[in-house]
Amino acid sequence: MEKLVEVGILFDYYGSLLSERQRSMVDKYYNEDLSLNEIGDLYGISKQAVSENIKRAEKRLYSFEDKLHLKKRSDNTTKFLEFIKKELKNSKSFETKETDALLKKIDDFMKEDMGEL
């Protein structure tokens, strides 16, 4: 997965665990697409200092995932629910009304509880 996307996803899961300064810098860099120089100007620090802060934050985000596996669990749950949906669509043992209701419940769950990152 492209690093930009991967860090963005990890930030969605674990961003609140970063310090306010790290969270703000990562948000500005990855989500607002500001350059290191632009971020440095906002904080009155060098481009190198911004880069080091972002690298430390990225390292923490990956460390959180290595320990907590929230993204991995979410990905596995999504794959499993997609498998169930496929099986329900192909199943002859359910009436259409029941199958449609189950499919809708799965879709609603995936939208609400999985957060659709």
Q: Answer whether 102's CB lies under 8 Å from 94's CB.
A: yes
Q: For residue 117, is it within any domain? A: no
Give 34-87 pLDDT, tens digit per residue.
Answer: 999 999 999 999 999 999 999 999 999 999 999 999 999 989 988 988 888 887
- 91 with 55, same domain: the answer is no
CATH of the domain at 43: 1.10.10.10
- 78 with 51, same domain: the answer is no
Q: For residue 9, is it within any domain? A: yes
- Give the residue among 115, 50, 43 at the shortest CA–CA distance from 78: 115
User: What b/e readout covers 23-59, taking b as 16+ CB neighbours within 10 angstroms?
Assistant: bbbbbbbbeeebebeebbeeeeeeeeebeebbeebbe
**Residues of the domain holding 88:** 72-112
The pTM of the full predicted model, rounded to 2 decimals, is 0.75
pLDDT above 60 for 26:
yes
- 90 with 58, same domain: the answer is no
Taking the C-alpha atoms of residue 80 and residue 62, their distance in angstroms, rounded to an integer, is 24
Q: What does the pLDDT read at residue 117?
A: 43
